[in-house]
Amino acid sequence: MKTFFNNSNYMGIASATLCVVHCILTPFLLIIIAKYEWWENLTYLFLAVSLYAVYEAIKAKPPKYILSLICGSYVLLIAFLLLEETWYLAEPLSYIASLGLVIGHVLNVRHCKNCINE
């Protein structure tokens, strides 16, 4: 169980990190990839993978501050992505929310290493 839990945290870290990279590269690659609709759809893939990682983190019952960071960052990320077209601060704030997810999952991995094997 512990290995699966850690893997879901690592998956959450990877997903949030790739989401940030995807968002940063989009403006630079916009001209090249404008005709590729799949690039925009990667956002939804990252959100789905992150949702699964958040779900696994919730099931493991981490400390309240880690749970708040992970869940809060995920909710903020979704909100900022929805507001991206209408609010100019939404995009930079979505990077911060993704970073919050990464930090939350890293803290969760560190916390789990201190847990007693079940």
Which conformational region is residue 100 in: left (phi greater than 0), alpha (psi within -120 to 50 degrees), or beta?
alpha
The answer to whether 102 and 108 have CB atoms below 8 angstroms apart is no
DSSP state of 35: T
- The predicted model scores a pTM of 0.70
Q: Give the tens place of pLDDT for each residue, 41-65.
A: 778 888 888 888 888 888 878 899 9
Confidence of residue 1 (pLDDT cuts 50, 70, 90): very low
Can you tell me whether residue 63 is helix, strand or coil?
Answer: coil
Q: Give the tens place of pLDDT for each residue, 89-106.
A: 998 898 899 889 889 988
Q: Between 64-83 and 37-59, two packed helices, what is the crossing angle to 10 degrees?
A: 160
Give whole-number Cα distances, 81 to 20, 60, 65, in Å: 12, 27, 24
